[in-house]
Amino acid sequence: MLPAFAQAPQTIVAPQSTLPSFADVVDRVKPAVVSVRAKSKDAEAQASTDQGSGRNFNLPDFGLPDDHPFQEFFKRFRGEGEQNGNPRFGRPGPRQGTSQGSGFFISADGYLVTNNHVIDKSSEVEVLMDDGRTLPAKIVGTDPKTDLALLKVEQGGPFRYVELAPEVPRVGDWVLAVGNPFGLGGTVTAGIVSARARDIGAGPYDDFLQIDAPVNRGNSGGPTFNQKGQVVGVNTAIASPSGGNVGIAFAIPSETVRNVVTQLREKGNVERGYVGVQIQPVTKDIAASLGLDKSEGAIVARVEDGGPAAKAGIKTGDVVISVNGKPVEDARDLSRTIASLNAGATATLQIWRDGKRQEIPVTIAKMSGTSTAAADAKQGTEIGNLGLNLATAGNNKTGVAVVGVEPGSPAAEKGFSTGDVIKEVAGQAVQTPADVKAALEASRKDGKKSVLFLVEASGGTRFVALQVPAA
């Protein structure tokens, strides 16, 4: 009998791993992913492995001596090795004039998606298949605004292909990237979706997925998959100080890819809707000055003469709240929504005007492929509490010219510059500095805390909200 304080031996069972395995997904999708090589019309312009990140890839030397064997390894990655570069490591030399990226088949008959910047200005394109074959491809169409391109491989099919995901992934979902980083084809990396709807200033319709899967130069144009093996995005850019992966990569979402690719396949180009307005975000100050409860929608800063919006009765200062019943989050959201509509269709825009909502139908037009009013150089009228020096606009221009801005003043902080022309204050057209003062005084008497200025500048027309100065 065991002593009372003794315990019977226990069998120790190792806990089962809860980490996912992507092996089954990789087996299904990897044959559909290819390396894309484009020979440029201008060899010097395309003398790099991939233009995806817009930065050169640089590896540190870690202070190793010149005769250390690892130095040769680093030289190859920097493209300092052979005269014509190394096809698997580093940048090809200028003589090659090629760029390398990734792509993937979306149909058995050879339609292939990649990035526009991978094949831009190319005279010859070929794809390196997962099974080792090299096949020529032709460019069906490109869309620089979303950085997408559609290719077609005519021979060697049928091809293994993958499908675009019908749903947008959630933040935190696992994703898998397959591509050709640094010319190393067939590379697989995994991570999660870090964020959605990212605007990185790459184009007018930015709506990127941000992922933390290791994506590097050469991954551009390659797919990011969900755990079902469906493409949720096309890798297009990385944020990196060195050109290497730091865990921040951006992919074009499948919804955008589907819309663009469908049009490229059917028409060879992409048509976008257009209404003829210049818009800007609704800030908290702008919302408060217009009586809106929160910052929402997009405010119309300018209406193009004779455009669809002008014909429908849209006015400068209107805030577009929704399109066809879908709420507009911000100016970027409105741009994407209008662009996605077909020419000839009628869209119902709900706007905020004069403190109330109203609906206006607008006929969408097809998008086809701002002047600054100069002020007379003369002493203006100072509005000291705002830091503005104003004068009547010259050269037969209407409005009130800004001839001086006091550094550090409220006007300077809001971006006013000499040469700007104030067109309206609190919704009222102004022609003289006295008109500006009168509009500010009226706003003060009405108890408003801020007032909207409609300003015409070199970058276009915009609204600026300024705090109403004390008497």
Please give the positions annotated as active site: 117, 147, 220
Instruction: Provide the β-strand partners of residue 471.
Output: none
Q: What are the CB-based long-range contacts (under 8 Å, 24+) for 446-452?
A: 448/289, 449/288, 449/289, 450/285, 450/288, 450/289, 451/289, 451/425, 451/426, 452/286, 452/289, 452/290, 452/317, 452/424, 452/425, 452/426, 452/427
Q: Where does residue 385 rank: exposed (0-12), middle (13-18), buried (19+ CB within 10 A)?
A: middle
Structural Rg of the chain based on CA atoms: 29
ω into 166 cis (within 30 of 0)? no
Polymer length of the chain: 471
Q: Phi, psi (5° rounding) for residue 438?
A: -65, -40
Instruction: Provide the β-strand partners of residue 464.
Output: 453
- Let me know the angle formed at the C-alpha of 368 by 337 and 116, rounded to the nearest 5 degrees: 75
Give, in order, the Cα–Cα distances in Å from 291 to each of 288, 391, 440. 5, 30, 17
Answer whether 280's CB lies under 8 Å from 264's CB.
no
Pairing of strands 298-303, 277-281: antiparallel
